[in-house]
């Protein structure tokens, strides 16, 4: 029956900012009573941008109102519009396709790798046409996309590369931070992301200073920051809040510690779940290059039974994307007729994420791991998984220069 509340583990922590409450109130007071009465795009925002640029080694960082907005601004700054195609993952969050449609361009869905769950570079390449302007790769759950392959592909085909690293802050691949492989990358600061905050915000990071200048203009109605009410381009309202900038500056020194705790929990899950692979429960590998620790996602054909099993033990698990993007009512009209995305469909059917946040206690982590392991002993699991694919994650440190997937893996029409 229902576990006692001592073991109840919510999917997202309600206490992420518990230790920062006083600081937040002081910041609200300081900004609210400051002589400048500047609540957006002030010196605190500028300082946060400098800190984040320094931390990631980017020439420029431009704070904006959300991760979604960061994508919108990047596409607009790149001049993406009607008649253009942008290749996007067939599995992932709505903004991957919605921002492209909003720009007036067409999202072209590419299938994902079956275990990494990130867009497959070979599938993306097979979809390039004379109208393709941008490749949009996104990191997923805890695994970075094959960015070396995407970088090579974009350079070889003369395309722009946008790296949706909204949830991957803190990840690195071959020593290069997530967000720094594309012509532009981004981070979301929405509450639950790895550098989340109590509000909405995001940032664009890039080495392309001309692109950064465009993004800077576009986030504030196309003004250049010098001449007010001169609008060089049709822009957006995507400004950044000074209270949130001060709060992020306050939280920045603790970020590495929180990321390390996330990595520790993730490694513990991986150690516990490694023996489950042969039974058909697929977990990401322990540690490794190209990983980050946003949520911990496993794949199983009986994920609904797993979710119920966990709920009975007080553990809230989360299914992020129960449908692929081409199967969403909003995006189906943009999916190519007759197209198929078998890996995205399988991911939608099989993904389930476990709690992963820095303030989980060791006892909670063990309780979650025990509950998952116990599930694989139940008949609900053993009877289903006898018939299913037991492929395991490939070692993500083995990213190849060019992709090695076969034609059969590609989501071609």
Q: Which of 97, 117, 127, 138 binds ligand PLP (CB under 6 A)?
A: 138
Comparing CB distances to ligand PLP, the nearer of 138 and 259 is 138
Pairing relation of β-strands 132-138 and 160-164?
A: parallel
3-class DSSP state for residue 353?
A: strand
The site that binds ligand PLP (CB under 6 A) totals a number of residues, namely 12
Q: Which of 49, 125, 163, 164 binds ligand PLP (CB under 6 A)?
A: 164
Question: Is position 285 an interface residue for ligand PLP (rule: CB under 6 A)?
Answer: no
Question: Is position 354 an interface residue for ligand PLP (rule: CB under 6 A)?
Answer: no
The minimum distance between CB 215 and ligand PLP, in angstroms, equals 15
CA distance 269 to 315: 14
Question: Is position 143 an interface residue for ligand PLP (rule: CB under 6 A)?
Answer: no
Distance of CA 322 to the CA centre of its chain: 16
Closest residue to ligand PLP: CB criterion: 67
Comparing CB distances to ligand PLP, the nearer of 179 and 202 is 202
The minimum distance between CB 166 and ligand PLP, in angstroms, equals 3
- Pull the structure tokens for residue 237: 């309202």
Burial class (CB in 10 A: 0-12, 13-18, 19+), 3: middle
Question: Is position 188 an interface residue for ligand PLP (rule: CB under 6 A)?
Answer: yes
Comparing CB distances to ligand PLP, the nearer of 164 and 214 is 164
Comparing CB distances to ligand PLP, the nearer of 90 and 166 is 166
Comparing CB distances to ligand PLP, the nearer of 68 and 376 is 68
Question: Is position 171 an interface residue for ligand PLP (rule: CB under 6 A)?
Answer: no
CA distance 274 to 356: 17
CA distance 410 to 413: 9
Return the residues of window 197-256 that contact ligand PLP according to CB under 6 A. 202
Comparing CB distances to ligand PLP, the nearer of 166 and 245 is 166
Comparing CB distances to ligand PLP, the nearer of 108 and 190 is 190
Q: Given the rule CB under 6 A, which of 163-171, 209-217, 354-362, 383-391 is the region that contacts ligand PLP?
A: 163-171
Question: Is position 66 an interface residue for ligand PLP (rule: CB under 6 A)?
Answer: yes
Residue identified by tokens 């009410």 is 229
CA distance 252 to 384: 45
Q: CA dist 120 to 70, 84, 221, 396, 407, Å?
A: 23, 21, 36, 13, 11
Burial track 64-75 (b if 16+ CB lie within 10 A, e otherwise): bbbbbbbbbbbb
Q: Which of 63, 105, 110, 166 binds ligand PLP (CB under 6 A)?
A: 166
Comparing CB distances to ligand PLP, the nearer of 215 and 302 is 215
- 71 Cβ contact list (under 8 Å, min separation 6): 95, 96, 99, 136, 162, 164, 166, 186
Partner residues linked to 93 by β-bridges: none
The minimum distance between CB 95 and ligand PLP, in angstroms, equals 5
The minimum distance between CB 64 and ligand PLP, in angstroms, equals 9
The secondary structure of 142-197 as a DSSP string is: TB---HHHHHHHHHHHT-EEEEE-TT-TT-EETTEETTSSSSEEEEE-BTTSTT-B
Question: Is position 68 an interface residue for ligand PLP (rule: CB under 6 A)?
Answer: yes
The dihedral region occupied by 267, where left means phi > 0, alpha psi between -120 and 50, and beta the remainder, is alpha
Question: Is position 167 an interface residue for ligand PLP (rule: CB under 6 A)?
Answer: yes
Question: Is position 93 an interface residue for ligand PLP (rule: CB under 6 A)?
Answer: yes
Question: Is position 196 an interface residue for ligand PLP (rule: CB under 6 A)?
Answer: no
Question: Is position 103 an interface residue for ligand PLP (rule: CB under 6 A)?
Answer: no
The minimum distance between CB 202 and ligand PLP, in angstroms, equals 5
- Give the residues lining the site for ligand PLP (CB under 6 A): 66-68, 93, 95, 138, 164, 166-167, 188, 190, 202
């Amino acid at each position: 029956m229902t576990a006692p509340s001592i073991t109840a583990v919510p999917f997202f922590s309600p206490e992420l900012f518990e230790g920062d409450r006083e600081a937040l109130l002081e910041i609200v007071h300081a900004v609210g009573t400051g002589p400048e009465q500047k609540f957006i795009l002030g010196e605190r925002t500028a300082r946060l941008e400098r800190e984040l640029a320094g931390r990631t080694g980017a020439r420029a960082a431009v704070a904006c109102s959300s991760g979604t907005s960061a994508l919108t601004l990047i596409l607009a700054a790149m001049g993406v519009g009607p008649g253009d195609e942008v290749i996007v993952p067939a599995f992932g969050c709505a903004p991957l396709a919605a921002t492209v449609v909003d720009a007036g361009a067409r999202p072209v869905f590419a299938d994902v790798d079956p275990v990494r769950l990130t867009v497959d570079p070979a599938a993306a390449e097979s979809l390039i046409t004379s109208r393709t302007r941008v490749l949009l790769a996104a990191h997923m759950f805890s695994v970075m996309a094959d960015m070396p392959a995407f970088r090579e592909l974009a350079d070889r085909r003369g395309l722009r590369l946008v790296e949706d690293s909204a949830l991957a802050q803190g990840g690195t691949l071959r020593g290069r931070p997530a967000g720094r492989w594309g012509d532009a990358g981004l981070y979301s600061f929405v509450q639950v992301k790895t550098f989340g905050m109590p509000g909405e915000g995001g940032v664009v990071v890039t080495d392309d200073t001309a692109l950064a200048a465009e993004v800077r203009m576009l986030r504030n109605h196309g003004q250049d920051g010098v001449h007010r009410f001169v609008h060089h381009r049709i822009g957006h309202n995507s400004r950044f809040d000074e209270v949130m900038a001060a709060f992020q500056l306050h939280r920045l020194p603790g970020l590495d510690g929180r990321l390390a705790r996330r990595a520790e929990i993730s490694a513990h899950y991986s150690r516990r779940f490694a023996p489950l692979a042969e039974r058909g429960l697929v977990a990401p590998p322990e540690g490794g290059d190209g990983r980050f620790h946003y949520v911990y996602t496993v794949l199983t054909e009986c994920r609904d039974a797993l979710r119920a099993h966990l709920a009975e033990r007080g553990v809230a698990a989360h299914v992020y994307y129960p449908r692929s993007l081409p199967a969403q009512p909003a995006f189906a009209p943009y999916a190519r007729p007759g197209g198929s995305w078998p890996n995205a469909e399988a991911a939608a059917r099989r993904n389930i994420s476990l709690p992963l946040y820095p303030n989980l206690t060791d006892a909670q982590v063990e309780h979650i791991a025990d509950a998952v392991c116990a599930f694989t002993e139940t008949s609900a699991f053993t009877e289903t998984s006898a018939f299913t694919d037991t492929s395991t994650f490939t070692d993500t440190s083995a990213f190849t220069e060019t992709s090695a997937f076969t034609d059969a893996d590609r989501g071609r029409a």
